[in-house]
Amino acid sequence: MREDVQNAVNHVDQHRLWQRHVEMAKIGAIPGSGVNRAAFSKEDIEARKLLISWARARNFTVAMDAIGNLFVRRAGTDAHAAPVMAGSHMDSQPRGGRFDGIYGVLAALEALEAIEEAGATTRHPIELVAWSNEEGGRFAPCTMGSAVYTGAKALSDFLAVKDNEGIALGDALAETLAATPATGKRERNAPAAAYVEAHIEQGPLLEQEGKTIGVVTGIQGLRWFNVEVFGESAHAGTTPVGARKDALRDAIAAINALHELTRDASDTVRFTVGRMLVTPNSPNSVAGHVLFSVDVRHPDLATVARLGDAVEPAVRNAAKHCSVKVTPTLHDDPCAFDPAVADCIERAARALELPHRRMASGASHDAMYMSRVCPTGMIFVPCESGISHNEAENAKPEDLAAGARVLTAALLELANR
């Protein structure tokens, strides 16, 4: 490893990085060591303010774009060079853990600070990005900030999306933008020289194999749908069962049909119904309306296409008493990351003598959209028993720091190309 790179890596401070996770985990803390920091909530705003305060303490430049993606930049020597970017997200699942997303943001900040303390110069600016609404737990779908930043989707596509309380994304976003202290404006679609995202693995492989670093090769494909079943609310005690249009009964039949559709002896297909809204949601009223989500994933392009295309016919066929509406909300093909970025990450892991392996990601990440516009890669670190999207999510300070060291080295190499 070059001396200046090693010097910057040596400034990565495990204690500082861990303490920042502790501070962030206080924002939206829930019982069981978890966090609930929904996108564009008051907790999200608080997390943004804390990150901005840390960035300003170093005199890094802070900017936001129209969907609230937050950027923290350390200048490079070439005023015309596009930034090398690194980051992840600060929002969480409703019952999420202390590491999913926030680790990639804090690792990027740690890398920026280490590089600053080492006094290293880079040709490209290095820019931390905290993407808005990666999780999609409040406003579906997921990875919205990066979809809009990269031009894959228009912001206007999302403004009317409502949360479970009926609040429109556009209103929550406007509050978030207004509440965040004055920042510079960042253009969407601005060119990026490269993007590297650090993240906990969210699976068990690294821990099982005693590896510290996962060099991520790509992300499996996924499709999301909202399924609405329109029935008729009726009295539970008086309406003959044969005369009902029971939306919940048909929703259950549809979900069972989708389980059959996605049955897979190799257990590679991932199929989830994780959200359901029942109206009027009363024990003695027949359900008049049900909305449920569908999330289906597979590493193979043709299989994602086939399964996704079969969702609506399967639902229509299963709903015997009600009408249905199936709305696709997300369709992301499997993506392969740039081999040169993977090589760069692997070189850093090897030079730092960290046990590592190449692996694909089962979870989706903003790196998926970034891979469409610039050379992209991801660094995984182990998490306890592979548990994620759960309050019990846990990771070791030394593994988080190891990932931040690899990130620092990779960013320095990419920013001096």
Binding site for ligand GLV (CB under 6 A): 135, 142, 363-364
Rounded-to-integer distance, Cα 281 and Cα 287, Å? 7
Burial 193-228 (b: 16+ CB within 10 A, else e): bbbbbbbbbbbeebbeeebbbbbbbbbbbbbbbbbb
Give the end-to-end CA distance of the chain in Å, rounded to a whole number: 16
Partner from Mn ion, ligand GLV, none binding residue 173, C-beta < 5-8 Å depending on class? none
Which option in ligand GLV, Mn ion, none does residue 334 bind, with CB closer than 5 to 8 A by kind? Answer: none
Please, which residue, 101 or 334, has the CB nearer to Mn ion?
101
Closest distance between ligand GLV and the C-beta of residue 367, in Å? 11
Enumerate residues 8-37 that contact Mn ion by CB under 5 A. Answer: none
Q: Nearest to residue 407, comparing CAs of 88, 33, 50, 25?
A: 88
Give the HSE-up count for residue 379: Cα atoms under 13 Å, Cβ half-sphere: 36
Residues 6 or more apart in contact with residue 227 via CB below 8 angstroms? 251, 254, 291, 292, 293, 294, 311, 315, 324, 325, 326, 327
Q: How far apart are CA 78 and CA 73, in angstroms?
A: 14
- Shortest distance in whole angstroms from residue 67 CB to ligand GLV: 17
Instruction: Using the minimum distance from each CB to ligand GLV, give the nearer residue, 142 or 213.
Output: 142
Please say which residue, 314 or 345, places its beta carbon nearer to Mn ion: 345
Task: Give least dist CB 117 to ligand GLV, A.
Answer: 32
Q: Are the CB atoms for 90 and 37 separated by under 8 Å?
A: yes
Please state, in angstroms and as integers, the Cα–Cα distance from residue 268 to each residue in 241, 281, 285, 299, 367, following that order.
39, 34, 39, 8, 22
Supply the minimum distance, in Å, between the C-beta of residue 382 and ligand GLV.
Answer: 18
Q: State the minimum distance, in angstroms, from the CB of residue 84 to ligand GLV.
A: 24
Please check whether residue 303 is in contact with residue 294, taking contact to mean a CB–CB distance below 8 angstroms.
no
User: Smallest distance from the beta carbon of 93 to ligand GLV, in angstroms?
Assistant: 7
Choose among ligand GLV, Mn ion, none what residue 228 binds, the Cβ cut-off being 5 to 8 Å by kind: none
Q: Residue 364 binds what, of ligand GLV, Mn ion, none (CB under 5 to 8 Å, by partner type)?
A: ligand GLV
In this complex, which beta carbon is closest to Mn ion, that of residue 76 or of residue 203? 203
Query: Which of ligand GLV, Mn ion, none binds 142 (CB below 5-8 Å, type-dependent)?
Result: ligand GLV
Report the residue number, 324 or 367, with the smaller CB distance to Mn ion.
367
Those residues whose C-beta lies under 8 Å from the C-beta of residue 331, and which sit 6 or more positions away, are 223, 224, 308
For the chain, helix (H) and strand (E) counts, in that order, are 12, 19
Please name which of 390, 202, 228 lies closest in space to residue 294, comparing C-alpha atoms: 228
Of residues 336, 267, 260, the one with CA closest to residue 297: 267
The minimum distance between CB 105 and ligand GLV, in angstroms, equals 14
Could you tell me the smallest distance in angstroms from the CB atom of residue 115 to ligand GLV? 28
Min dist CB 202 to ligand GLV, Å, is: 8
227 binds, among ligand GLV, Mn ion, none (CB under 5 to 8 A by kind): none
Structure tokens at 86: 């690194």
Q: State whether the Cα torsion 128-132-133-134 is positive or negative.
A: negative
Place of tokens 């919940």: 248
The residue (of 346 and 366) whose beta carbon lies closer to Mn ion is 366
Q: How far is the CB of 135 from ligand GLV (least distance, A)?
A: 5
Nearer to ligand GLV, 270 or 357 (CB): 270
Q: Which of 34, 83, 101, 218 binds Mn ion (CB under 5 A)?
A: 101
Residue 100 binds Mn ion, judged by CB under 5 A = yes
Query: Which residue is associated with the tokens 């009726």?
Result: 234
Position of minimal CB gap to Mn ion: 101
DSSP 277-326: EEES--TTEE--EEEEEEEEEESSHHHHHHHHHHHHHHHHHH-SSSEEEE
Q: Binds 255, which of ligand GLV, Mn ion, none (CB < 5 to 8 A, cut-off by type)?
A: none
Q: Which is nearer to ligand GLV, 303 or 364 (CB)?
A: 364
- Residue 212 or 361 with smaller CB distance to ligand GLV: 361
Binding site partner of 359, from Mn ion, ligand GLV, none, Cβ cut-off 5-8 A by kind: none
73/199 with CB nearer ligand GLV: 199
**Residues contributing to the site for Mn ion (CB under 5 A):** 100-101
